[in-house]
Structure 1
Amino acid sequence: METQTQEETALRNELQERYMAKSSLLKEVDEKFAELEGDQERALGQGFYRLGKVYYDKADLNTAEDYFLRALDKTIYPKDAFAMFKCYGFLIRIYSENEREKDADRFIDLAYDLVEKLGSELGTLGAEYFYNVGMVYTYKGEFEKALENFKLAYKKAQTENEPELIAKSLYSTATASYHLKLHKETLSYLSQLSELLNILRKGYLKGSMHLLYGNLYKDMGNFSESLKNFDLAIAYLQQKNCWNLYGYILLGKGITYKKMGEYNQSLMYFKLALNTINSQYKRLRDLVATQVEDVNDSSVDLYLDRHNRVIHEKNLGSIDFKHRFVLLEILFLLAKNPGSHFNKEDLAQSIWKDEYNPLIHDKLIYTSISRLRKLIEPKGSNRKYILRGKDGYTFNPRVKARFHKEDDPKTKKVIGNIEISSPV
């Protein structure tokens, strides 16, 4: 009996060992299958993400949105945390352009929560983390904090030897500086980025860089460089078959020509932009439509641009006042006060900052008004703009005049403070 018991015990132990081995093997197989299934889901998500980018580049924002949402659905935290950031970024840009503020705000909040969560859980905070922190601060309009984090991302990306992330960090640092109107610093960062992109083959980023260059030079008044860079942006984006920025480049060129006082040329680019962009680009269409209205109101008789010292008369076209400072000041004084009369004493004090002296000012005033009329009054017509009454000179109140807006008109704020040209 004792021998049989020992045999039974040995057999039982052997069976248990076999069972444990089999269970371990089955568990390993199950884990492999689960891992394989997870990899398949992840691969599917990556495919959706790539398709989203393709449609985004082709300016089909609605289809791009659908694929980015599908890609996001396949992500798993924390393994895919930075992939989640990318999806959030594209969706925020799409919703900004669609003027869907609530949707944009929802994903901005998700991005902020993800940054907070990663910051507390990650042992080491690398370049990609700080880059995304910078993006979150950009969405919130806190550009100084965004700039700090982009600079940190740039330094860490250099240490980590991540050329693509170095390039993106440089671009975003330049963009944050541009928002803060740090033009000199923006030029410096763009110059560094330009050198790097001579090595990296990143056509889309090159196009975005030249678009930013174009807007920067436009704001600085260097119009020839602005137009040159807008053309370079078009060339690089054509090579990549990316059309989502084309309308913004045309808008930039139109505003540049407007600042130059070449209103017909600017109008051509604004209309081209309207004819080119699709209905999904609601924000862009609003911006362009506002510019068209500003330049092309057929009821406006006289368009006055003090900044560029150019006057656009409905029938005569553009009239250059760059070397006619006194005449321009007289015109602006009268045009800003239609129906109000200015006598010789008023003009002497307002224009020449002097007490009226008939020996000095009579001929000066008469000659100046005469020259001004010859410039702006249509040939062969009665006096239309500057009238003379018993109380002095006045600007005809029946005439419709419009004054150039010093700032580029914007119908609505940029939702999320992010441009569609900004890399994710």
Structure 2
Amino acid sequence: MNLLLRIFAEREQFEDINSTKEKLQDLVLKEGFELNSKTYYTLAVCASYKGQLDTAMDYLQKALAIALASDSKEDICHAIFGLAMCYSHPKIGRQSDALKEIYNLQVFFQVYQMPELQASSLLLNADILKQMKKYDETIEILWRAYDIIRETRNVVMSNVLMGALADTYFEIGDKDMARTYITLALRSIDQENHRRTARMAKTLADKIGGETQSNFDLIFDEANHAVIEKKIGRIDFKNQFILLDLLRLFVTNQGQIYSKEFLVENVWKQPYDPAIHDNKIYVTIKRLRKLIEPDYEKPKYIFRAKNGYYMNKAARVHFEH
């Protein structure tokens, strides 16, 4: 149910959120169901999406009490996180209480593996510190969140993180860095399915101002196995590991010519045999070009030399580790 609500929220389907809340309430009033901690948490999420923060906090207190009574660590952590989010809201303004709840969560995360909730708590922590104008600490916390998000490969959280970095750098006064991160976020967001994140990113881009086009022709997103090309947009490599390894080699050493022998031994991990590998290299380079070149007939990234292949040194490439 919580996952479904997150999907509704991202798609900004507020009628569906309201309907979900009403169905839960009907189950309680008409069917006599006893609410457990997860249900109270779900009701709190519904209320918070509607801006009913006092109601949400009431539900979360009940969720926490039930979770503590049953000693359900996962439910306890979700209730604490929900309270921290409500406390940190500008309408509530209890940032110090929010930070206390976040620090309480760190104790649980030392023992229990809940990576997505841990990353969410770090993002919230960073947002509070940014409100307090503690920018160095904010950036440090955001990069801690990045380490977790990279492992979970949660695309929505990755985009939220990039937006948070953009907003923080904007507050510091580094507009160029802010534009880089917000552009990366905008080009990565699924505009149809993640409307809420897209709307927030566009609002932030408008606030930052200036050019929102990337300063880079290619952005190699190592964490998500993807590339963002300036004209094409996001290109997912999915299970195309050879193509990804080949491109990684080229972008990390622009202008360096790699012989066919080197490519076979370092990408395919095989001894070079021209009878086997010459055509394989040709076909693979062709596939890679079709993926990343805006105009396949006039390549601007991967060039052929007499003794191998190389990445155009003039291409503006950014490597996201």
Measured against the shorter chain, the TM-score band is 0.5 to 0.7
1:117 aligns with 2:30: no
Partner deviation per Cα, 1:121-153 (whole Å, 9 max, x = no partner): 446543233323322322332111211221221
Unaligned ranges ≥5, structure 1: 1-85, 299-424
1:267 is aligned, of 160, 176, 179, to 179
Specify the SS of the correspondent of 1:181. Answer: coil
Question: Cα RMSD over matched residues?
Answer: 2.1
Other-structure match for 1:242: 154
Is the Cα–Cα contact under 8 Å of residues 119 and 125 in structure 1 kept in the other structure?
no
Partner deviation per Cα, 1:207-258 (whole Å, 9 max, x = no partner): 1111111111111211112111211111112122222211111111111111
Specify the SS of the correspondent of 1:279. Answer: coil
Other-structure match for 2:204: 291
C-alpha separation in 2, matches of 1:118 and 1:160: 20
Structure with greater Cα Rg: 1
Partner deviation per Cα, 1:353-385 (whole Å, 9 max, x = no partner): xxxxxxxxxxxxxxxxxxxxxxxxxxxxxxxxx
C-alpha separation in 2, matches of 1:209 and 1:258: 22
1:168 aligns with 2:81: no
C-alpha separation in 2, matches of 1:201 and 1:125: 26
Deviation of 1:200 after TM superposition, in Å, equals 0.8
Partner deviation per Cα, 1:286-320 (whole Å, 9 max, x = no partner): 3323333333336xxxxxxxxxxxxxxxxxxxxxx
Matches within 5 A, 1:15-414: 86=1, 89-99=2-12, 101=13, 104-119=14-29, 121-122=31-32, 124-179=34-89, 180-280=92-192, 281-297=194-210
Is the Cα–Cα contact under 8 Å of residues 17 and 46 in structure 2 kept in the other structure?
no
Specify the SS of the correspondent of 1:221. Answer: coil
Is the Cα–Cα contact under 8 Å of residues 109 and 118 in structure 2 kept in the other structure?
yes
Specify the SS of the correspondent of 1:244. Answer: helix
Is the Cα–Cα contact under 8 Å of residues 8 and 17 in structure 2 kept in the other structure?
no
C-alpha separation in 2, matches of 1:135 and 1:288: 22
C-alpha separation in 1, matches of 2:122 and 2:52: 24
Q: Between the two proteins, what is the percent identity of the paired residues?
A: 19
C-alpha separation in 2, matches of 1:97 and 1:115: 23
**Structure 1's 97 and 193: CA in aligned 2 closer, same or farther, altered over 3 A?**
same
Is the Cα–Cα contact under 8 Å of residues 108 and 139 in structure 1 kept in the other structure?
no
Is the Cα–Cα contact under 8 Å of residues 27 and 33 in structure 2 kept in the other structure?
no
**Structure 1's 159 and 294: CA in aligned 2 closer, same or farther, altered over 3 A?**
closer
Deviation of 1:159 after TM superposition, in Å, equals 1.0
C-alpha separation in 2, matches of 1:129 and 1:266: 39
Other-structure match for 1:53: none
Partner deviation per Cα, 1:1-51 (whole Å, 9 max, x = no partner): xxxxxxxxxxxxxxxxxxxxxxxxxxxxxxxxxxxxxxxxxxxxxxxxxxx
C-alpha separation in 2, matches of 1:156 and 1:92: 21
Partner deviation per Cα, 1:70-121 (whole Å, 9 max, x = no partner): xxxxxxxxxxxxxxxx1xx33333233234x4xx313422322322422554
Deviation of 1:187 after TM superposition, in Å, equals 0.5
TM-score by length of 2: 0.60
Specify the SS of the correspondent of 2:156. Answer: coil
C-alpha separation in 2, matches of 1:90 and 1:250: 22
Specify the SS of the correspondent of 2:190. Answer: coil
Specify the SS of the correspondent of 2:43. Answer: helix
C-alpha separation in 2, matches of 1:132 and 1:284: 20
- Aligned structure 1 segments of 4 or more residues deviating by more than 6 angstroms: none
Is the Cα–Cα contact under 8 Å of residues 28 and 34 in structure 2 kept in the other structure?
no
**Structure 1's 112 and 138: CA in aligned 2 closer, same or farther, altered over 3 A?**
farther
State the AA in 1 paired with 2:139: L
Q: Which has the higher contact order (CA 8 A, sep 6+)?
A: 1
Is the Cα–Cα contact under 8 Å of residues 112 and 136 in structure 1 kept in the other structure?
no
Is the Cα–Cα contact under 8 Å of residues 234 and 249 in structure 1 kept in the other structure?
yes
State the AA in 2 paired with 1:136: C
Number of residue pairs aligned between Structure 1 and Structure 2:
208
Unaligned ranges ≥5, structure 2: 212-321
Is the Cα–Cα contact under 8 Å of residues 157 and 166 in structure 1 kept in the other structure?
yes
Is the Cα–Cα contact under 8 Å of residues 254 and 269 in structure 1 kept in the other structure?
yes
TM-score by length of 1: 0.46
Is the Cα–Cα contact under 8 Å of residues 92 and 108 in structure 1 kept in the other structure?
no
Deviation of 1:192 after TM superposition, in Å, equals 0.7
